[in-house]
Amino acid sequence: MTTMNVKLNAKLNAKKPIYAKPEEAIVNDLIQALENGVTPWRKEWTVKGGFRNVLTGNIYKGSNPALLCIKSALNNHWHLPLFMGAGQAKSMGCLPKKGSKSARIMQPLQRSFELKEKDEKGESQYGSYMAYKCVPVFNVADIRGLDDESEKKLNELIDKAVLTAKPRELDVRVKEAHDRLFQWEEQIKTLVKGGDRAYYRESSDEIVIPKRYNFKNDESYISTFAHEAVHSTKHKTRLDRKDLTYANEELVAEIGAYLICNRLHISNLDVQNHAAYLQAWCPMLKSDPKILFKSLANASKAADMVIGEQ
């Protein structure tokens, strides 16, 4: 056998690197965070604003804030919720630094298809559905200017994004969040304030929550109510979320509460112990990674129902 043939056979027999699909990478990121004892959505609200594109200023909507929280939980040096695509970075003379890893957001795509039935004139009819594709974005902590001028421009963008997101006074912010969220009380049959537990009872369509002064702070009170409000959207007269396991429903409520708190600009920390949830979510996600995306969709619908669409 010639040397050329040996090299050719070696090349053909070499194992190709295995790359995870974008969707699988997102699920793997969440599993890694959970196995590290981190609940990505249980983190303090940053006074510097929500997740957004630093170049356009557009706020990431839908379930994307939850996805960015997953990745941020694994990257301690991401101190700002500011991101951009690699192409956007290149357009201003910057690039992601070597070895940096992207987060992924879901970009909606309108798809169309031809229906089997023709219209009255015998012409083709078309339907449509919403699909999503994963788009990589990089945190500004991992973006570098290719020269001094580009680096200066990048830093000016970051400073502007931070300075234009000054927080309102805490009491005003919390009161506005409280008043907006608790309008949901009118949509359920009963809200019971008292006791030492928080839960939603579907049979009687009631939310039970301890009194406000029993909580460590007002934001914990609001975030706990948000969690139970998401549970209440599973009622048959609302989103009719059926056939979910207990762990799956809790994942929906956890993500949904985060999305609500994210829109209200408040913390979603509370004093509950989520160790049992963490232990249940890992095997559930490993057995069926699609559960995460179904949960994100359910949580986004629930958040829209409770406080309105973004």
Q: Which of 140, 182, 146, 191 is nearest to 161 (CA)?
A: 140
Beta strands in the chain (DSSP E): 52-53, 82-84, 94-96, 103-118, 124-139, 143-145, 190-193, 199-201, 206-209
Tell whether 227 is covered by a domain.
Answer: yes
Q: Which of 204, 188, 254, 251 is nearest to 226 (CA)?
A: 254
Tell whether 36 is covered by a domain.
Answer: no
pLDDT (tens, 9 = 90+) of the chain, 310 residues, equals 555 554 555 554 555 545 557 667 778 888 887 777 776 766 543 435 689 999 999 999 998 998 998 888 788 778 888 999 999 999 999 999 999 999 999 988 888 888 888 888 888 888 888 788 899 999 999 999 999 999 999 999 988 887 765 556 668 889 999 999 999 999 999 999 887 789 999 999 999 998 888 888 888 899 999 999 999 999 999 999 999 999 999 999 988 998 998 899 887 654 344 445 666 788 898 899 889 999 999 999 999 999 998 7
Tell whether 140 is covered by a domain.
Answer: no
Tell whether 234 is covered by a domain.
Answer: yes
Asked if 67 contacts 103 with a C-beta cutoff of 8 angstroms, the reply is yes
What's the pLDDT score for residue 35? 79
Helix (H, G, I), strand (E, B) or coil at 72: helix
| pTM attached to this predicted model | 0.73
Q: Which of 31, 30, 37 is nearest to 66 (CA)?
A: 30
What's the pLDDT score for residue 271? 35
- Expressed as residue numbers, the domain containing 277 is 167-310
CB environment 257-285: b (16+ within 10 A), e (fewer): bbbbbbbbbbbbbbeeebeebbebbbebb
The Cα-based distances of 89 to 99, 180, 198 in angstroms read 16, 37, 45
Distance (Å, rounded) from C-alpha 267 to C-alpha 189? 27
Helix%, strand%, coil% for the chain, nearest 5: 45, 20, 35
Sheet holding 124-139, edge to edge: 52-53, 82-84, 124-139, 103-118
Tell whether 300 is covered by a domain.
Answer: yes
Name 107's bridge partners: 133
Tell whether 236 is covered by a domain.
Answer: yes
The Cα-based distances of 127 to 59, 109, 117 in angstroms read 30, 14, 11
Q: Name the DSSP letter for residue 44.
A: P
What's the pLDDT score for residue 29? 82
Tell whether 184 is covered by a domain.
Answer: yes
How many domains does one find in the chain?
1
Tell whether 60 is covered by a domain.
Answer: no
